[in-house]
Amino acid sequence: MTMHARSGRGDGEFPPVEQLPPPVRAYWRRHTQSLLADISSMVSGSECSGPRDLAFHLPTIATWDCPGMERHIVRNADGELAEIRYSIASREVLRLVASMWEGGRFSPIRPFFAGPYGGFHLAPTADLTVGIYLLLDMWPAFYAQHAAGAAAMMERRMRIDAAVADALADLPLPHSLDHRGERPYLLVRLGLDAVLELQLPLAKDSLLGHNPGGWISRVAAACRESRLPFTLRGKSPGTAWGKTQEHAPELLAREQLRHGYREQWKGLIRGFLERDGGAVHSLEEVLGWRVPGMRMEALRDAAGRIVWVDAYLCDWGASDWTALRVGEGSVRLRLDVQQSFDWDGRGDLRGLMVALPSLVARMQREYAHGVSREGKVIRLVQASVREVVRQVPEVVGRPYMLRLFERVHLQVGMRGRRVLHFNVRYDDCPDFMVHLGGAIRQLDCLLEEVRAPFWVLGDAECRRRHPSAYAKLRRGE
């Protein structure tokens, strides 16, 4: 079968395809998906010729002439046809492979940008051989058309990189660019947990506006001088202005004390297991122990060997309660704190079981008292924060939302459709209540002075929104 290309590949130079930036790779992927969807719609509903496995059709496809592309056949060690590689101007642009799986779907179409394991496939209803025929017929013109678009994207990216580097040459702050979207983002490290985010360009005739280093330095100074850490973002979809949401103080106290409670238990268990107990105890021996207030049960495998021994606290509430699970090489505490410990068969495991009923009663009693005491403190802090937020003049008259959950989170509406976020621990609430008004005043003056539509992100949010650019920012590139 001889193929006739719909148009030639053109006389221009194609851009290099190695190490493509993510935006260019996404550009190619988007247009290739569109091309394959169009081809699938053309050949869907017709009678499919042969199996859906491309390996069955590759010998036939290998005989097709493809004007505009050179063809190279690759065979495996058994001499079977493994893939067909197509190139334009000695540069590989497409592969058809006998096996390529992506996300559980057979993806035998491998363009040059797809990476070592990427790939595409035609729709399940498409005639495979006719679809591949159309793909090979269209690919030279498709590649020529979008190579020019990709080259323009890369040239635009280089221009922006050069312009930003020149404009911020005197700025002594680490900065990076994220080119993933149609409009790039500039990221500037302002402090330990503050990153400025700015979408470029700021205007049709200006990438960064007048004196960008100056106003970015003023934003960085405001972050350093603020008595309260803050972020400046857009309004979240779930923001309910004028509302105060809170969790019960006792629940918050329980979460705050849980880590210390777990650490106490770990210290107690290790103290028993690391004692010099002399002889090595087998699971059969542990099963035979008679410990007051506890009973033992074993789980055995099909051969009758003991897999583990469960130690129950007897008469603990409505039913027995599994306290320990002892297995080969480990002891697992199975109370309200789950924790595993290495165990070599030595140590004072029996002494632990003897002491466990009284330890459980004492530890839970102390934990309950701690939760009650801490809950009262949190209740007083919550009441104080609610009262201060209602009375601070800088908050009065502005839209705000207060959340009293694991931390105190206050959102205050600011000019330019931005929202000022304070997120503080309960221990830091005294300083928060004293400096809240001054921090809002300072940020309001900054936004009046600096009209650029910037955000201030926390470190974790910046890492989530701009992973690649954030990595460069951390490395100081």
Instruction: Express each pLDDT in 160-174 by its tens digit.
Output: 889 888 889 888 999
Task: For 24-39, give one letter per residue: b (16+ CB within 10 A) or e.
Answer: bbebbeeebeebbeeb
How far is Cα 389 from Cα 437, in angstroms, rounded to an integer?
9
Name every residue whose Cβ is closer than 8 Å to that of residue 176 and which is 6 or more positions away in sequence.
186, 187, 469, 470, 472, 473, 477
- Expressed in angstroms, the distance from the first to the final Cα of the chain is 53
Residue 241 CB neighbours (<10 A): 13
Task: For 407-436, give one letter per residue: b (16+ CB within 10 A) or e.
Answer: ebebbbbbeeebbbbbbbebeebeebbeeb
Biggest CA-to-CA distance, the chain: 91
How far is Cα 319 from Cα 328, in angstroms, rounded to an integer?
27
271 near 335, Cβ under 8 Å?
no
Average pLDDT over residues 435-461: 91
Eight-class DSSP state of 362: H
Q: What is the pTM (predicted TM-score) of this model?
A: 0.68
How far is Cα 39 from Cα 296, in angstroms, rounded to an integer?
68
* Predicted local distance difference test score (pLDDT) of residue 350: 86
Could you report the per-residue pLDDT of 171-211, keeping only the tens digit for each? 899 999 988 777 889 999 998 889 999 988 876 667 777 78
Instruction: Between 21 and 117, name the one with better pLDDT.
Output: 21
310 near 325, Cβ under 8 Å?
yes
178 near 466, Cβ under 8 Å?
yes
How far is Cα 272 from Cα 470, in angstroms, rounded to an integer?
46
Domain ranges of the chain: 22-159, 181-242+399-475, 250-375
* Predicted local distance difference test score (pLDDT) of residue 116: 63
* Predicted local distance difference test score (pLDDT) of residue 315: 66
Q: How would residue 18 be classed by pLDDT, with cut points 50, 70 and 90?
A: low
Task: Read off φ and ψ for residue 16, nearest 5 degrees.
Answer: -65, 145
How far is Cα 153 from Cα 151, in angstroms, rounded to an integer?
5
In percent, the amount of the chain with pLDDT more than 70 equals: 89
* Predicted local distance difference test score (pLDDT) of residue 205: 64
Whether 389 has a pLDDT exceeding 60, the answer reads yes
How far is Cα 174 from Cα 470, in angstroms, rounded to an integer?
11
Tokens 């049709």: give the residue: 204
Query: Could you give the C-alpha distances from 272 to 34, 265, 277, 350, 437, in angstroms and in order?
Result: 66, 11, 9, 9, 54
The residue type of 118 is G
Residue 249 token pair: 């103080």
202 near 453, Cβ under 8 Å?
yes
How far is Cα 332 from Cα 269, in angstroms, rounded to an integer?
10
In percent, the amount of the chain with pLDDT more than 90 equals: 33
How far is Cα 471 from Cα 477, in angstroms, rounded to an integer?
9
Radius of gyration of the chain (CA): 33
Closest CA to 122 of 203, 191, 54: 54
Whether 260 has a pLDDT exceeding 50, the answer reads yes
Task: Read off φ and ψ for residue 359, nearest 5 degrees.
Answer: -65, -45
Q: How would residue 372 be classed by pLDDT, with cut points 50, 70 and 90?
A: very high
Q: How would residue 69 be classed by pLDDT, with cut points 50, 70 and 90?
A: very high
How far is Cα 81 from Cα 76, in angstroms, rounded to an integer?
7
Most confident of 178-192, 235-249, 374-388: 374-388
How far is Cα 219 from Cα 461, in angstroms, rounded to an integer?
18
